[in-house]
Chain A
């Protein structure tokens, strides 16, 4: 009965993307020790990524191939399956990004084992491992249990497990694995960088973000006006605002958008879909304004205001100017 864990790390254009320390913390929270764990790093040239990934004495397996320079879910999945066979791992853990998740699905299907995506909490009790993930926009928690001998594939939501600062910085054994069975049916061609506005979000101290509750494009004026109250501020958005064409996708905070952690995040008319929360929940101080008092965003906010933002913000702006 083997229960070795493989942590899968992806690189994009030779940079490490996967938060490997978070995944190691996830493994620890399921009582999976580091000597039962192997980190696999896949990419075109992973030499720069290896020192970052080789954490806490965990053994590292590298897989290098031209086809892995950009995200390539089938090639990644194929190499993961081969590595699992080599080291005898029956538990496989990816980061919960769209591309890693796609690879995880292929692996689960090929190995015919259970898969849980978007794991946010994990625990172990008497050999039973319990995973919890959000469903219904965070209104529900879905739990899945595994016995001590069960294999599984999972993807872990970023920002859910704090990396252990006390973890020793010892490097495990580093081994190279040759993989060459790359399919010609999916060929990555290159990447297009994010636009400028996405970069400004990263550097802002304060982000005022607009959601569906803004109602119409003209109402963004009050969001910009609010942002002007703060120094080094930027305007962000939930996905639907970008889908409606009110703001460019470079302004999107959340899954596939930006992950931000400003000193202040003001969520205006944002319901708090999980895809948005993963991008902003680590902000230092969160204020939420939403007309629905039951909106999920209030569970993440430090301060909540149940009100229509279009009526509330003008009054708030006036009060702030009064202070000055």
Chain B
């Protein structure tokens, strides 16, 4: 079985975030990065399938700037067999349609049985890339997947998808297909020492994205700005004792306590 896992490097949400004059996200020595959390679950699900079905290969792919190779090494450390890096410029928030096009073009005719993505990225929160890749490849997909079980005889995957209000939908999806996984589907592992050592020297296949593939025709380029400061809300000041007393007084006045 051949599995492709799409992962993305994001700016750590805890990291400071600012815009330059031309509206790009500032990246400097204070910026820290990590793998999109939802993609960690996608990768783990693929590696677990490999462990159950010997002969399975797991390929990790990313669309990102040069530095994203480090994240791919981490994916190798967690059990991916090989890694593909589609190298872009340094601008963040590439329109999802472009990311999807680059990955779909790579994956076409390579006979992947399963493609995994996270349900969304934590930075853009578009929820588009996974289903877009599947649509471009003309294969079925499921989103918000919280459990999956392969049925090789039927050539399908039985999935449970989280929908609103904690309700789950059960569905059967024919192979080959794409699954956009929800967090909590598994417990992502830490990289193993033997894999980390292998990853250090393993070659990562690099493909340079051409400029026109990243420009914004047909897919709107969003302009980033700071949100207006909402006028509601007061921050309580003072010592911990004072703040606690103020909050208790406010909630008392409103009749809650």
Which of B222, B224, B236 sits near A303, CB closer than 8 Å?
A: B236
Residue of B nearest to A198 (CB): B166
Contact B184 A188 (CB under 8 A): no
Whole-angstrom distance between the alpha carbons of A114 and B219 in the complex?
5
* Cross-chain contact B135 with A316 (CB below 8 angstroms): no
Residue of A243, A249, A300, A319 contacting most chain B CB atoms (<10 Å)? A319
Selected from A109, A135, A152, A305, the residue in CB contact (under 8 A) with B222 is A135
Can you name the residue of chain B whose Cβ is closest to the Cβ of A286? B233
Q: Are B166 and A134 in contact (CB under 8 A)?
A: no
Leading 9 A-B pairs by shortest Cβ distance: A194-B166, A142-B222, A185-B140, A319-B248, A109-B135, A105-B131, A315-B244, A185-B174, A316-B244
Instruction: Return A194 CB to nearest CB of chain B, in Å.
Output: 3
Are A191 and B13 in contact, with the CB atoms below 8 A? no
27 residue pairs of the A-B complex, CB under 8 angstroms, read: A12-B163, A70-B169, A71-B163, A74-B140, A97-B164, A105-B131, A110-B135, A114-B218, A135-B123, A137-B13, A144-B221, A184-B174, A185-B139, A185-B174, A185-B177, A186-B173, A189-B171, A191-B168, A250-B166, A256-B163, A298-B233, A299-B229, A299-B230, A301-B232, A301-B233, A303-B233, A316-B244
Instruction: Give the Cβ gap from A88 to chain B, nearest Cβ, in Å.
Output: 21
Nearest residue in A to B229 (C-beta to C-beta)? Answer: A299
Q: Which residue of B lies closest to A155 (CB)?
A: B127
Contact B170 A307 (CB under 8 A): no
**B57 an interface residue at 8 Å Cβ cutoff?**
no
Interface: B193 (CB within 8 A)? no
Given contacts A274-B125, A323-B249, 18 further A-B contacts (CB under 8 A): A99-B169, A116-B222, A137-B13, A139-B226, A141-B224, A183-B140, A186-B141, A186-B172, A190-B169, A192-B167, A194-B165, A194-B167, A298-B235, A303-B234, A316-B247, A319-B244, A320-B251, A324-B257
Contact B256 A206 (CB under 8 A): yes
Question: Is A143 a contact partner of B223 (Cβ separation < 8 A)?
Answer: yes
Point out the residues of chain B lying under 8 angstroms from A185, CB to CB: 139-140, 173-174, 177
Flag if A114 contacts B220 (CB, 8 Å): yes
- Interface check A312, CB cutoff 8 A: yes
Chain A interfacial positions (CB closer than 8 Å to B): 12, 17, 70-71, 73-74, 97-99, 101-102, 105-106, 108-110, 112-118, 133-146, 152, 183-195, 198, 206, 229-230, 239-240, 242-243, 249-250, 252, 256-259, 263-264, 271, 273-275, 285, 287, 293, 298-307, 311-312, 315-316, 318-320, 322-324
Contact B247 A287 (CB under 8 A): yes
Chief secondary structure at chain B's binding surface: mixed
Contact yes or no, B227 A73, CB < 8 A: no
**Interface assignment of B148: CB less than 8 Å from any CB of chain A:** no
Chain A residues with CB under 8 A of B226 = 139-141
Counting chain A CB atoms within 10 Å of each CB, the highest count among B219, B236, B248 belongs to B248
Cα separation A137 to B142 with both chains bound (whole Å): 24
CA distance A84 to B242 in the complex (A): 60
**Chain B 174-212 near chain A by CB (<8 Å), digits 1 or 0:** 100100101110000000000000000000000000000
Q: Known: A243-B184, A275-B125, A305-B236. Contact between A258 and B93, CB under 8 A? A: no
Q: Which one of B93, B131, B234, B244 lies within 8 Å of A73 (CB-CB)?
A: B131
Quick check: is B254 within 8 A (CB to CB) of the other chain? Answer: yes
8 Å CB contact of B257 from A74, A143, A230, A256: A230
Q: Is the CB of A256 within 8 A of B166?
A: yes
How near does chain B come to A195, taking the closest CB pair, in angstroms?
7
Which of A17, A145, A183, A256 is within 8 Å of B182, CB to CB? A256
A200 → chain B, closest Cβ, in Å?
12
Q: Which residues of A contact B1 (CB under 8 A)?
A: none
B67 interfacial by beta-carbon distance below 8 Å: no
Contact check, A142 vs B163: say whether CB atoms are below 8 A apart.
Answer: no
Distance in Å: Cβ of B228 to nearest Cβ of chain A: 8
Q: How far is the CB of B158 from chain A (nearest CB, A)?
A: 8
Check B220 against A116 for contact (C-beta < 8 Å): yes
